[in-house]
Amino acid sequence: MKALWLENGRLFFREDMPEPELVADEAIVRVRLAGICATDLGLINGYYPFTGILGHEFVGEIVAVANMAQQHRIGERVVGEINVNCGSCANCLSANLTHCQQRTVLGIKNRNGAFAEYLSLPLKNLIPIPNTISDQKAVFTEPLAAALEIQAQIAIKASHKVLIIGAGRLGQLIAYTLALTGCHLAVVARYEKQRQLLSQHHINWLDEHTILTPEFDFVIEATGSENGFKLALKAIRPRGTIILKSTFKDEISINMANLVVNEITLLGSRCGDFLPALRLLENRLINPTYLVDETFHFNEVLPAFKRVQQPGTLKILLRF
């Protein structure tokens, strides 16, 4: 089958990859549409050692199942939870499934991903897509779930002042979800298209140089850069909370005294539940398709990766 292979920081478009094997409790999924995200770019740049097929944002169709009792699921249009847990380690037994000590992660850790004609995942990870949600909207389920995870971790009220640093793919989705809370929301946006999209959604955007005082209850860092983190420290009020939503490849220097004296809380935030994300899409409360800059056929996946790395680019999709 055709697949995008990552090895030693280099991408290879291959047409000789074997299709995934069907193993117990899993299904084979034919990929219909996939999205390129910042994590994919981070893996290319070496933030985590991964060799294999990239990709974890996808819409697909179940074409084979290992369990005969689940034959009725063949033909389902699905999205997939990317963390595959063992079910028996201490974290799993504590219902801390996304931190399973033995987990594999689709296209990220010890499991081939979605930039291929076929992928495999456990049936329990595959969630049917309501008929009213298009493929182009459903492909955003995974990053939308990650955006919603913030509200699963902390209660954001209408009275809170919230700042998002970074208005890229994930930053935009976080902004759309937080706007539904009615909070006093602002987003640091660098590029004109980012600003236009925020304005279309009636969300206030700021230039980073206009942030002069520590006035925000919550600051969400969505750039994964040292400068973004320093800006978060500048903007957060005493006893406020900084939510770290992007992975940092490099070590950064932190003024720990500032964190202690001002009693700042740091909160890491990663993957989220797919069902709330699908409900938002089904109820048309969020339309993420505004973020799509271009859709490439999978045969053009290498040019697609060059396109997504251009400054200001938002979402690039791959059609199979």
For strands 292-297 and 315-319, give the pairing.
parallel
Q: Are residues 83 and 155 in the same domain?
A: no
Residues 62, 19 within the same domain = yes
How many domains, the chain? 2
Q: For residue 158, what are the domain limits?
A: 149-268
Which residues fall within 8 angstroms of residue 102, CB to CB, at 6 or more apart?
Answer: 85, 86, 89
pLDDT of residue 158: 97
In angstroms, rounded to a whole number, what is the distance separating the alpha carbons of residues 295 and 307?
10
Give phi and psi for 318, each to the nearest 5.
-120, 120
Same domain, 209 and 248: yes
Quickly count: other Cβ atoms within 10 Å of residue 156's Cβ. 22
CA distance 89 to 151: 27
Q: Please report, as a single letter, which amino acid is at residue 141.
A: T
Q: Average of pLDDT values for 9-24? A: 96
Give the CATH number of the domain where residue 307 resides.
Answer: 3.90.180.10
Q: Which residues contact 94 (CB under 8 A, 6 or more apart)?
A: none
- Is residue 167 situated within a structural domain? yes
Cα 211 to Cα 234: distance, rounded to the nearest angstrom: 8
**Token pair of 264 as six digits:** 């700042």
Question: In the chain, pLDDT over 70 holds for what percent of residues?
Answer: 100
Instruction: Read off the pLDDT of each residue in 277-283 and give the average, rounded to a whole number.
Output: 98
Asked if residue 248 has pLDDT above 80, the reply is no
The mean predicted confidence, pLDDT, of the chain is 95
In a domain, 100, yes or no: yes
pTM of the model: 0.94
Residue 92 pLDDT: 93
Is residue 76 domain-shared with residue 184, that is, in the same domain?
Answer: no
pLDDT at 47: 82
* Percent of the chain topping pLDDT 90: 89
Q: What is the CATH number of the domain that holds 188?
A: 3.40.50.720
Q: Residue 226: which residues within 8 A CB-CB, separation 6 or more?
A: 248, 250, 252, 253
Map tokens 């932190």 to a residue.
254
User: From CA 143, how far away is CA 122, in angstroms rounded?
Assistant: 20
- Gap between the Cα atoms of 157 and 51, Å rounded: 42
- Domain-located, residue 143: no
In tens, the pLDDT along 50-83 reads 999 999 999 999 999 998 899 999 999 999 999 9
